[in-house]
Amino acid sequence: MIRPPPPVRAKNFRKAAVDPMKIQIVKNAASLPEGYALAIPLFAGNLTSTSPSSALPSDLWTEIHGWIKRTRYKANDGDFSHVRILIANRATDVLLLGCGSRDQAHAGIIRRAGGRAAVEARRLGVTTVVPVFDTDRGAQFPSLWIRAFATGFREGTYLLRPSKSASKPVQFALLGAAKAIASLQKDVEYGFAVGTAINTVRDIANQPGNQAPPRVIADQAKALAKAHGLSCTIWNKAELKKQRCRAILAVGQGSHEEPRLIQLSYAGRKKNLRPLVVVGKTITFDTGGISLKPAKNMEWMKFDKCGGMAVLAFMSIVASVIKPDRPVIGILTSAENMPGATATRPGDVIQSRNGKTIEVLNTDAEGRLVLADALDVACELNPSCIIDLATLTGAANVALGRPASPIMANHDALRNALQAAGEAVGDRVWPLPLYPDYERMLKSPFADLKNIGDGSAGTIIGGTFLKAFVRSDIPWAHIDLTSAWEERATSFGPAGATIFGAALLANWLESSGGSAA
């Protein structure tokens, strides 16, 4: 007789992280607080001709240029230096953040520079970071990059295991007259808000499998929804049965922890607009099931819920920052993939929600099963378009590695717009094709389709499988996440979930209004 596990108390995510970070406005350098540091993103080449920021004393630049000459500092991407110089008789910490050549710079580099500033500031005991953006010989620092820097900074302040004795969080100040820096302030506020949503959801995403089964994720999603005035519907096992979500149930049936389908809805002012629907794979732990994964590195599969986590963070940005006219619905399709006496077996045939039968040849290809039902639910909502995010295949990492995640779609314009949005915020995605030629690789003699191909084109086969569960007249895109988590702390942020994709979705919704065309 196996006893069900004891209830896990939903560890409430840290409310503090929800508060927007305060931005101080400081008129001139003389009134900067004790222990401040300047953070200066610098582009390689012609370093000693960088133009002075209007609000900073000119001898600062004389000093920095002298230092750069003496040390041959190059400002390549990731080059960091801490310089302490005397300005107007005041010792000033300067954090130089190399961003490589201006021509090759992109939002990801700037976002990491922001993260680096936060990490180094904490290490050095700096009280307040003051960014200096107008260093590119008079050229404008793009507004998108200011947002990216601010998001990265906020991300860099995240502590995986905050201790009570931890020093006060690093503050952020802008230098200049309130009027002159109004637009700068707006961009920083926007960037911080995105970073705050990401950090809040990181608390949920970083929980290990034992502490965060689907029912706990559902509780926490509900609490987050409530905090943002979003409505939230949760389907438990009984409701999933009623709703014919047999593929989700098949993935979860080896576990004592029951699956959940979680829906968060933002109403929008224009109820007649078709809703944007975003779907996230939320496997709270992926053992592979009966097709068990090897023991080595299996621990990382606690992050197999990160597609859903990006959807959660996105919904919180929708509610708190973007507030679009269009209704937006986020769906988390959640189960624990375990082996066991009741688990789905290789060769089992299941019928998904839309009626298609699936031969489950490998129980480790479970993400596409939970998504099959969720995408069918999404189609029923008469959406403007559907975007799904999932840690679907190891092959995605083989194809593109960490610098970019594969994106696939049934609609070129939607795919291109999402790619541009990712580029704008530093969540890079790159297209793979979904040629109909791939469909024959999923043919099964025993069912409408099987859940794996022959091992080639693994990521495309995953996308091709999902495509079969989306109505072909609905614009749909699928992102197979490759950098959903960091295995260890980086120079610009903590180990653990990155919530890759949330900033991308936010930027795309802002620029497109949530429609594909």
Report CA 77 to chain centroid distance, whole Å: 22
Nearer to Zn ion, 120 or 366 (CB): 366
Quick check: 395 binds ligand BES (CB under 6 A)? yes
The answer to whether 466 and 370 have CB atoms below 8 angstroms apart is no
Nearer to Mn ion, 29 or 335 (CB): 335
**How many residues line the site for Mn ion (CB under 5 A)?**
3
Cα angle 309, 312, 313 (rounded to 5 degrees) comes to 90
Give the whole-angstrom CA distance, residue 262 versus residue 264: 7
| H or E stretch at 386 | strand 385-390
Quick check: 286 binds Zn ion (CB under 5 A)? yes
Residue from 108, 156, 213, 367 touching Zn ion (CB under 5 A): that is 367
Binding map of Zn ion across residues 327-366, x = CB under 5 A, - = no contact: ----------------------------------------
Give the whole-angstrom CA distance, residue 117 versus residue 130: 10
Q: What is the CA radius of gyration of the chain?
A: 24
Nearer to Mn ion, 268 or 406 (CB): 406
Binding map of Mn ion across residues 221-260, x = CB under 5 A, - = no contact: ----------------------------------------
Max distance between CA atoms of the chain, in angstroms, equals 81
Residue 466 burial class via C-beta count within 10 angstroms: exposed 0-12, middle 13-18, buried 19 and up: buried
- Which segment (184-192, 280-288, 460-468, 501-509) binds Mn ion by CB under 5 A? 280-288
Beta bridge partner(s), residue 477:
387, 409
Nearer to Zn ion, 200 or 291 (CB): 291
Q: Interface residues for Zn ion in 292-311 (CB under 5 A)?
A: 304
Q: Beta-carbon neighbour count of residue 391 at 10 Å? A: 28
What is the token pair recorded at 481?
């996440």
Catalytic residue from among 237, 293, 356, 471: 293
Quick check: 286 binds ligand BES (CB under 6 A)? yes
Residue nearest to ligand BES (CB): 394
Helix, strand, or coil (residue 236): coil
Minimum CB distance to ligand BES, residue 483 (Å):
10
Among 425, 423, 421, 397, which Cα is nearest to 485's? 397
Catalytic residue from among 112, 368, 428, 467: 368
- Which segment (85-93, 181-189, 195-203, 360-368) binds ligand BES by CB under 6 A? 360-368
Q: Which does 452 bind (CB under 5 to 8 A by kind): Mn ion, Zn ion, ligand BES, none?
A: ligand BES
Q: Interface residues for ligand BES in 454-473 (CB under 6 A)?
A: 458
Helix, strand, or coil (residue 131): strand
Q: Which does 362 bind (CB under 5 to 8 A by kind): Mn ion, Zn ion, ligand BES, none?
A: ligand BES
Residue from 77, 120, 219, 304 touching ligand BES (CB under 6 A): that is 304
Give the whole-angstrom CA distance, residue 386 versus residue 378: 7
Q: Which does 393 bind (CB under 5 to 8 A by kind): Mn ion, ligand BES, Zn ion, none?
A: ligand BES
Quick check: 362 binds ligand BES (CB under 6 A)? yes
Among 460, 354, 469, 488, which Cα is nearest to 399's? 460
Phi and psi at residue 216, to the nearest 5°: -75, -45
Among 393, 395, 399, which Cα is nearest to 367's? 393
The position carrying tokens 């008129």 is 27
Give the whole-angstrom CA distance, residue 179 versus residue 217: 44
Binding map of Mn ion across residues 353-372, x = CB under 5 A, - = no contact: -----------x-x------
Quick check: 366 binds ligand BES (CB under 6 A)? yes
Cα angle 50, 52, 55 (rounded to 5 degrees) comes to 155
- Which segment (55-63, 160-168, 189-197, 365-373) binds ligand BES by CB under 6 A? 365-373
- Torsion angle defined by CA atoms of residues 232, 238, 244 and 250, in that order, rounded to the nearest 10 degrees: 100
Query: Does 293 participate in catalysis according to the annotation?
Result: yes
- Which segment (8-16, 187-195, 387-395, 506-514) binds ligand BES by CB under 6 A? 387-395
Cα angle 65, 185, 152 (rounded to 5 degrees) comes to 70
Quick check: 286 binds Mn ion (CB under 5 A)? yes
- Which segment (189-197, 254-262, 286-294, 495-503) binds Mn ion by CB under 5 A? 286-294
The footprint of ligand BES (CB under 6 A) covers: 286, 304, 362, 364-367, 391, 393-395, 452, 458
The catalytic site residues sit at 293, 368
The footprint of Mn ion (CB under 5 A) covers: 286, 364, 366
